[in-house]
Structure 1
């Protein structure tokens, strides 16, 4: 049994992972990452899970990397271990969605960016404060943020360390949708349910295709899609028969 810093709840075809240090605003420590990494390892082998949602307990998603841990010289298992953990999560075969409410700063934003996309509550606030503390990113900010919002916008956010709200996050393309906080739980469940109802085979194949061709020239990507196409899933005929009424 895993600890309680990241809690897993199994839902109908999907999993909810919750960062669970609400008394510390879910500040991220090595121990939090260690539990997240263990859940990711389990999910990689979970053929019955078709969607994962990552969120925070209590008032927010996460206030970011625990500054007390940084100041005390936290013991990291290996160089790049945090970044490697997030890449392992990003490469899970099923869609991984960050559901952000309240604070989502710096290290927490790096975690959210390692998910396939972000949905935000209307009280969400974002920011990259590395420059405020004389720090530099090592969990992926310099790579994922410009891919999500564009290089110039990423530079503005990283250079100013400005905080911004959910509406601005939607405007710049950081998040995909914004929902009222009082509907957040139901919207998370509805979105994950819609994704889980679709083919896990297609989800995994699509993620591999998108990852392999990200940033390629169009013709190269089109050629990859043709040559590396993974075909149809094992339940294709059953799904079509059910839709057409011939599977009853």
Structure 2
């Protein structure tokens, strides 16, 4: 079905793997299109509660495939605007879908890939991973949220340091500065992510979906509007009614 990604689904978890290991899973137009398509389909599948995205080989993704898009680079921007729009569509799908999304960063993760990584709900990295922003190295302005999300994660001065120096950080350092949730040795990464997913599966999917909307609304609109939204929100949550009834009986 797909050429540049691997897709599987079982027991409430969907998994996507970038599958261009010979080029460090660089984000070609086709890979981005397939990634977006798969994500949008998962968003509509009520049997899925968690989406995990990782990479094959030594990289999560080295970022946008500059070789594939070389002819479209003009004046520090990609004239192939469709590619940029596809990346934005993927990010919007990630943050609007009811499922929890997890980036399992197994290796190199640079620039456009780092922008995509920051749009996931949760991020777990290998200690050995290298994560960075190299827009300034290549002379290309970001379009997928680097200048906004990075400073939300690590603070303004640290974000500017990472972007201006174009120097990556290890998974361990990424955890220390708040860029990822947790970093573990690569050999333990898949087990760690699966353990997190299992904990999520045991909770109310409807409540998670509601809280996800509230979290992102507040992150995008600010504290005051976020508090108003949370107070006014009226989400129908029915997947824990029996749990609550049993709780009352056993008190």
TM-score of the pair, normalised by structure 1: 0.91
Matching of residue 234 in structure 1 with residue 233 in structure 2: no
Matches for 1:128-167 after TM superposition, within 5 Å: 128-167=133-172
In the alignment, what sits opposite 1:197? 202
In the alignment, what sits opposite 1:16? 15
Tell which deviates more after alignment, 69-78 or 202-211. 69-78
Cα deviation, residue 215, structure 1: 5.3
| Closer/same/farther in 2, CA of residues 58 and 241 from structure 1, 3 Å limit | farther
Cα deviation, residue 113, structure 1: 0.8
In the alignment, what sits opposite 2:175? 170
Cα deviation, residue 55, structure 1: 0.6
Give a deviation string over 1:18-48, Cα, whole Å, max 9, x none: 1111121111011001101111221121111
Partner of 1:80, secondary structure, is helix
TM-score of the pair, normalised by structure 2: 0.90
For 2:59 and 2:83, locate their aligned partners in 1 and report how far apart those are by CA, in whole Å. 29
| Closer/same/farther in 2, CA of residues 243 and 5 from structure 1, 3 Å limit | farther
**RMSD of aligned residue pairs (Cα, Å):** 2.0
Structure 2 gaps of 5+ residues are 73-77
In the alignment, what sits opposite 2:217? 212
For 2:95 and 2:225, locate their aligned partners in 1 and report how far apart those are by CA, in whole Å. 23
Structure 1 gaps of 5+ residues are none
Matching of residue 28 in structure 1 with residue 27 in structure 2: yes
